[in-house]
Amino acid sequence: MSLARRKLLQLVGLLGVPTVFLLIFFFGPLLIMLVYSFLTPGLYGGVDWIFSHLNYGRILGWADTRYEKFDPVYIAIFLRSLKLAALTVLASLAVCYPAAFWISRMRPGMRDFAIFLVTLPFFVSLIVRLFAWVLILRPTGFLNQGLMGLGLTGGPIEFLYTDFAVILGMTYVFIPFMFLPLYGSIEKLDMAQIEASSDLGATRFQTFRKVILPATLPGIVGGSIITFIPALGNFIVPSVLGGAKVLMIGNLIEQQFLSARNWPFGSALAMLVMSAVLVLLIAQFRLAKKEAQS
């Protein structure tokens, strides 16, 4: 057996099974969703194998004028989801950037412990943690009791079932996602470069803007993307902390599959979310490539 042939066989042996697994179980469901999104909903759930573009029409602006008129509510929910996800990213950044800076300057033992603390919430069920937030945020919750006890407000403030609660909850959930890539790039930051900048006349703010921020940009972009994607499609946080008032695209998709039993429409909504994410990833990829060239 020739060496090249042997190498090829080794490669196939090593990668063959995982490749087939991914093709079937990762791309398979996506393909099913894509096909379903162009079909007609069955009368009792499921699908009828009749081509239809109206699932997308219902979202994007052309409707089946026989049964319903075009309603921009789906676009509105999608845009709101984009906004909430973006605000979640910003809030996580605001929390994680200083924290990552601080932790990266700790002595090694403390540092490992602090990173462990950041990942600690993963050890408790997400639902349990979100219900803990309900206890904090509800009108008779700890936050309102504290505020009223201090005399800062007369009556309870509506925290629960608002955009605020959803953003707060998602920020809480996604902080480890933001923290780890940020920490990776901040830890690599060369302290000597910060000193050099100061030595060359830059104030702290100038140093931050011209040296620290550009040097940690890969971490910021990476953390933002892996926070934004799950935040955009999230349905657990808005359903627990947003109730019926703050509906995100994730909840809508869930409803279409489980309550409305309109699988093709749910698939079309899911495809919409996925294409938004794809556009974002491609834009980031292009940007990174341009950055690498210049």
Partner 1 sequence: MTPFDTYPAGLLPAGSQDRTPMPSPLEIIDARKSFRTPEGGTMTALDGISLKLASAEFVTLLGPSGCGKTTLLRTISGFETLDAGEVLIDGSAVTQMPAHRRPVNTVFQRYALFGHMSVARNVGYALEIAGRDKREIRTRVGEMLELVGLAGMEKRSIQQLSGGQQQRVALARALAAKPKLLLLDEPLSALDKNLRQKMQQELKALQRELGIGFIFVTHDQEEALTMSDRIAVLAHGQIQQIGAPTELYQTPANLFTADFLGESNLLPVTVTSGRGCLPDGQSFATPHAPGEATLLLRPEALSVTPPDGHALSFTGTIRETYYTGTDHQIALETPAHGTMHALLRSGGALPCLGSEITLYAPAQGLHLIDEAAP
Q: Which residues form the interface with partner 1 (CB under 8 A)? A: 190, 192-193, 195-203, 206, 210-211, 214-215
CB closer to partner 1, 31 vs 196? 196
Axis-axis angle for helices 213-233, 73-104 (nearest 10): 140
* One-letter amino acid for residue 8 of the chain: L
Structure tokens at 121: 């919430």
CB closer to partner 1, 68 vs 291? 291
CB closer to partner 1, 18 vs 199? 199
* One-letter amino acid for residue 194 of the chain: I
> Could you tell me which of 293, 263, 269 has the C-alpha nearest to residue 73?
269
Closest contact distance (angstroms) between CB of 116 and partner 1 is 22
Cβ atoms within 10 A of the Cβ of 33, count? 17
Closest contact distance (angstroms) between CB of 211 and partner 1 is 6
CB closer to partner 1, 25 vs 205? 205
**Distance (Å, whole) CA 142 – CA 286:** 47
CB closer to partner 1, 66 vs 199? 199
Q: Are 272 and 59 in contact (CB under 8 A)?
A: yes
CB closer to partner 1, 189 vs 270? 189
CB closer to partner 1, 211 vs 248? 211
Closest contact distance (angstroms) between CB of 189 and partner 1 is 10
Closest contact distance (angstroms) between CB of 284 and partner 1 is 17
Closest contact distance (angstroms) between CB of 240 and partner 1 is 42
Which positions ≥6 away from 114 have C-beta within 8 Å?
103, 106
Structure tokens at 282: 């491609």
How would you label 85-108 residue by residue, b for 16+ Cβ within 10 Å and e otherwise?
Answer: bbbbbebbbeebbebbbebbeeee
Closest contact distance (angstroms) between CB of 183 and partner 1 is 19
Query: If you search the block for the tokens 């991914």, which residue do you land on?
Result: 22
Closest contact distance (angstroms) between CB of 263 and partner 1 is 48
Number of residues in the chain: 294
Q: For residue 42, give the DSSP letter.
A: P
- CA dihedral for 265, 270, 275, 280, sign (positive or negative): positive
